[in-house]
Amino acid sequence: MAKGPRYKRSFRRRVESKTNYHKRLKLLKSRRLRVVIRASNNHIRVQIIQSKLNGDKVLVSAFSKELTLKYGWNANTGNIPAAYLTGYLAGLKAKKKDIKEAILDLGLFYHKNRVLAAFKGILKAGINIPYKEQFFPKGLEERINGSHIEKYAMKLKNEEPEKYEQLFSGYLNKKKVPPLKISQIFSNSIKIIEKNV
């Protein structure tokens, strides 16, 4: 380990590669609202945050669990369609509070496709966030409404019914949601969100 009068130990979060303080400082100096998207294995959280000297202030927040409680989404809250709906919900809440633009603060970029789906939802709601189209992977548009889940479920149901029952047991037994109707549930949830926000 380095020693000496000029040696300065880095911050713990920098050493653990959890925070890039140079990027964070640039974001804070911009004085613009930040869109923060965080994904875990089961949920998505989208927040619009204002940076202040005494701490960050959350102006808008949307959590994927809200979809099941208020907006008719009774499927898994940790998949790509749920991420898109959460982003769309956050975007509509922001528009209601007269927030028109922000910048994206990705932080650590885990669960890439779900984070980008949530970002697409915010853009669809009409929030102006600078980005490049190359940022999104090919095929994300087709996966947003859950049609990829339906296709896979149909293939398994026809070819390997036992594997279908095993893989989609969470949908069939716990949530009582047919995986072959995910895109229909997605469309209904969008209508409910637009009506109630």
Q: Tell me the pLDDT tens digit for each residue of 32-70.
A: 999 999 999 899 999 999 988 788 899 999 999 999 999
Residue 165 belongs to domain spanning: 13-196
In a domain, 112, yes or no: yes
In a domain, 128, yes or no: yes
Determine the residue type at 34: R
Q: Which CATH number does the domain housing residue 33 bear?
A: 3.30.420.100
| Partners of residue 101 on adjacent β-strands | 128
Higher pLDDT, 174 or 158: 158
* Dihedrals phi, psi of 8, to nearest 5 degrees: -130, 125
Task: Provide mean pLDDT across the span 105-129.
Answer: 89
In a domain, 6, yes or no: no
- 139 phi-psi bin (left φ>0, alpha ψ -120 to 50, beta other): left
pLDDT of 140 reads 87
Secondary structure letter of residue 168 according to DSSP:
T
In a domain, 1, yes or no: no
Q: Report the alpha-carbon distance of residue 151 to residue 54 in Å, rounded.
A: 50
What does pLDDT average to over the chain?
Answer: 89
Q: How far is CA 106 from the centre of its chain?
A: 11
In a domain, 7, yes or no: no
pLDDT of 6 reads 85
Kindly tell me if the per-residue pLDDT of 3 is higher than 90: no
Kindly tell me if the per-residue pLDDT of 1 is higher than 70: no
In a domain, 5, yes or no: no
* Dihedral sign of CA atoms 187, 92, 72, 170 in order: positive
Task: Provide mean pLDDT across the span 88-110.
Answer: 90
In a domain, 44, yes or no: yes
Q: Report the alpha-carbon distance of residue 159 to residue 137 in Å, rounded.
A: 29
> In 3D, which of 87, 132, 89, 133 has the Cα closest to residue 114?
87
In a domain, 51, yes or no: yes
pTM equals 0.87
Q: Number of folded domains in the chain?
A: 1
